[in-house]
Structure 1
Amino acid sequence: MIGPNGAGKTTLLRLLLGLSRPTAGSIRRRPGLRLGYMPQRMQVDSSMPMSVERFLELGQPGISRAEADAALARVRAEKLRRASLADLSGGEMQRVLLARAASRKPQLMVLDEPTQGVDVSGQAEVYQLIAALRDELGCGVLLVSHDLHMVMAATDHVLCINQHICCHGHPEQVSRDPAYLELFGDKLAPYTHQHNHAHDLSGDILQNNGRCNHDHDRQGDE
């Protein structure tokens, strides 16, 4: 889901999740649908003594220590289990929130700006983790993002909104739609990106001899 600031993306997600009530219309949700939700941001009181492990337990009552460890391992954040939430960096917090969403073994993960607060070197890694979780859990992913390159290169269906549905469909179809072009212009076209390495929690490269090789195929990018 894409759209300019104030388009209503987060509001729509909250309506779909049942966190807000619609003033008109109706929402139909499959009974028993398991959801994993990752909010856009989370403010943590620096005086609150809560560990990452406890945070995961609150998000998934009854989760065992082994399951919590497995959830963190999925996002390569197992070293953070005993860390305080208040001490986490932006990138670390996003990984923990992603682990929490995935710990429910959802049928649908709902992710609102999952790279919020993550530096550029770590953003591609977060998207890589999301793709891996989707494949491992066999779930769908509903993603809100401002990263138009990623959206156009790596998603199956795009919904463009601006207080209403402007256009939707396959990324290539949407990128040519007049409503999309009116919002974002024509200088941004789909491209493929091969990310052949991994980053640790600080954003450093874990493999490939410390080199970052990217294979870009861009069109119309300035």
Structure 2
Amino acid sequence: MTQQLAAFKQVGISFDGRTLLDQIDMTINEGEIVTLIGPNGSGKSTLIRILLGLQAPTIGQIERHPSLRIGYMPQKLHIDPTLPLTVKHFLALVRGVDKKQILPTLEKLGIAHLLQSQVQVLSGGETQRVLLARALLNRPNLLVLDEPVQGVDVNGQVELYNLIESIRNELNCGVLMVSHDLHLVMAKTDTVVCINQHVCCSGTPQHVTGHPAYQALFGVPGADESIAIYAHQHDHVHDDHGDILSTQDDAHRHCHH
């Protein structure tokens, strides 16, 4: 039976009279990839902070499985450029890490040759894989990936998405992947959740391989197998203040402006 790893139940958070999240319902199960999308300021980062236990909701609750272990991959790596730090030493800083697992983890991600490299000179794709390795060293059953393809070219994005899927298949872990882009998501994502303070819409992603924008962005071999354009299926729209205006007539419009 599939285990539920985390569940947001009517979660809301307000700060200085401003609503950051409102009535969020979302679940993440083992073996499931959930992609969270939304515009800037939509509350994605706040939602992640709540999941990680760094921020408490004002209202509602989040339920976590007793055995939940989260491996977190941040957006960027912030390291003093004057500090000499190899990949090996960087990964050895992970709390409770079994140092014997560092090399096998790098091998799994195809970057064993970077073991003694300085982290400051890594390419965008190499940096993201090192960050993914750090998340995996926690032996997680839930991976939280914040903008995992940031700073990576299109070919590298395809490779990373395939890698994330293979990790999910091997470990049967849940994956919550946060994306800034409202259109580009993994084709094999199980659930896409779009938020703009509240949940605007959710569902499975759809392949739009014939769309001109898709061809322009992902005209590389195998891209249609790994990345898709998610066609929003909304049942409402928002006014300039984010309030819901209608339920049926404007279902084709986005929840953001």
Assess if the C-alpha contact under 8 Å between 1:60 and 1:103 holds in 2.
Answer: no
Residue aligning to 1:168 = 202
RMSD of the TM alignment (CA)? 2.6
Match of 1:131 among 156, 165, 184: 165
What SS does the aligned partner of 1:154 have?
coil
Identity across aligned pairs (percent)?
51
Q: CA offset at residue 149 of structure 1?
A: 5.5
Match of 1:39 among 67, 74, 82: 74
Q: CA offset at residue 20 of structure 1?
A: 2.4
**1:50-199 → structure 2 map (5 Å cutoff):** 50-65=85-100, 67-147=101-181, 150-151=184-185, 153-172=187-206, 190-191=207-208
Q: How many positions carry a matched residue from both structures? A: 185
Distance 1:191 1:103 in 2: 36
5+ residue gaps in structure 2? 1-35, 211-219, 232-257
Q: Structure 2-normalised TM-score? A: 0.65
Structure with bigger helix share is 1
Distance 1:82 1:117 in 2: 22
Whether 1:213 aligns to 2:214 is no
Letter in 2 for 1:41: K
- Cα 1:89–1:154 change in 2 (3 A) is same
Structure with bigger strand share is 2
Distance 1:28 1:17 in 2: 12
Letter in 1 for 2:221: N
What SS does the aligned partner of 1:28 have?
strand
5+ residue gaps in structure 1? 173-189, 194-211
Q: CA offset at residue 215 of structure 1?
A: 7.0
Distance 1:61 1:7 in 2: 34
What SS does the aligned partner of 2:60 have?
coil
Q: Structure 1-normalised TM-score? A: 0.74
